[in-house]
Structure 1
Amino acid sequence: MSRIGYKTIEIPEGVTVTRNGNDVTVKGPKGELTETFAADVTMNVNGNEINFEPTGKYDNRMRALHGTQRANLANMIEGVEKGFSKTMKLVGVGYRTQLKGSDLILNVGYSNPVDVPVPEDLDVKVPDNTTIEIAGINKQHVGDFAAKVRAIRSPEPYKGKGIRYEDEHITLREGKTGK
């Protein structure tokens, strides 16, 4: 059984956490995030520490909420303090990318380039024509956009061509052998 919900969250210097009913706002050097939490789990702020305590019966739903809300707040605090980033690589002959305005243009083997609009809260950079760097303060938005870009041309298992995360390892399969 996971005990994530019972771990204490330390509030670093320069980060403020304010609560207005069920809405929690976290402000830091990189920006501000606001999220609405369920009323079933109590958030206690003691100085620069935050604890979560379940209210009522500790069943499966409460157990899931307890750990999820604690993890979401910890991610919000880390996001406004340090931020989150993902780096993606394009692997394949002729695969390349470029940033044009607020659109990411991908040439990944289709007959036409694929245009992906970049959300306003994310910072996307293209240091070279086969690398994409996605950064932002919201972990969920960074991961969702990276998954959306990867889904355009997922790595295939025979040659490994496609869009992949920088630290992702693709296990290649052996092809058919003819007689």
Structure 2
Amino acid sequence: MSRIGKRPVAIPSGVTANIEGDTLSVKGPKGTLTMGLSDLIDYKIEGDEIRVNPANDTKAAQSFWGMQRTLVSNLVDGVTEGFTKVLEISGVGYRAQAQGKKLKLQLGYSHDVDLDVPEGLEVKTPDQTTIEISGSDKQAVGQFAAEIRRWRKPEPYKGKGIKYRGEYIFRKEGKKK
């Protein structure tokens, strides 16, 4: 039994949810998000909440239950509040600059790294060492943050690189004489 799957997803005021065929669409102040529905799970909209239950008693349906409820919850959270990831850059000469729909990174390579910001996401650089990625789709925000981090992962000796805010980097002592 899934403890997460048992809890219904509350639909706040100003948000509408609709099931058409095999898609669930949620519309709110920050836009519209859709999700494909699994055949192993029953989705029901009852008043101001969405209930997610397994369609049958198979192991696969039980396994999907909690994850599908979380995905539905992420849709509702995305259209109401949105999601944000903050990246911090540390290292001499490492900096970032948002230019419209492009993000320019200087990460110690012989060239600048220019990244196109995906549709539906907003990137801000409050200062040269901080990148804020926000949007309504949690998966898209996390994916773009991971693509940025991939260019220069934090290294364990000096801690230089791009890391998530609040991420702990295990530090090593280094070579001794």
Please give the range of the TM-score, normalised by the shorter of the 2 chains.
Answer: over 0.9
**Structure 1 residue 16, shift from structure 2 partner:** 0.5
Q: What is the RMSD of the two structures over their aligned residues, measured on CA atoms?
A: 1.2
Which whole-Å deviations, capped at 9, do the CAs of 1:27-55 have from their partners, x for residues lacking one? 00111001111122111221112211111
Q: How does 1:1-179 map to 2 (within 5 A)?
A: 2-59=2-59, 61-178=60-177
Distance 1:133 1:141 in 2: 14
Unpaired segments ≥5 residues, structure 2: none
Distance 1:173 1:69 in 2: 40
Distance 1:101 1:44 in 2: 41
Secondary structure of 2:143's counterpart equals helix
Aligned AA (1:75): N
TM-score, length basis structure 2: 0.96
Following TM superposition, the consecutive aligned residue runs of length 4 or more in structure 1 with deviations greater than 2 angstroms are none
Distance 1:64 1:141 in 2: 24
Aligned AA (1:96): R
% of aligned pairs identical?
Answer: 47
Aligned AA (1:40): L
Secondary structure of 2:175's counterpart equals coil
Distance 2:159 2:134 in 1: 25
**Structure 1 residue 147, shift from structure 2 partner:** 0.6
Secondary structure of 2:13's counterpart equals coil
Q: How many residues align?
A: 177
Whether the 8 Å contact between 2:89 and 2:129 is mirrored in structure 1 is yes
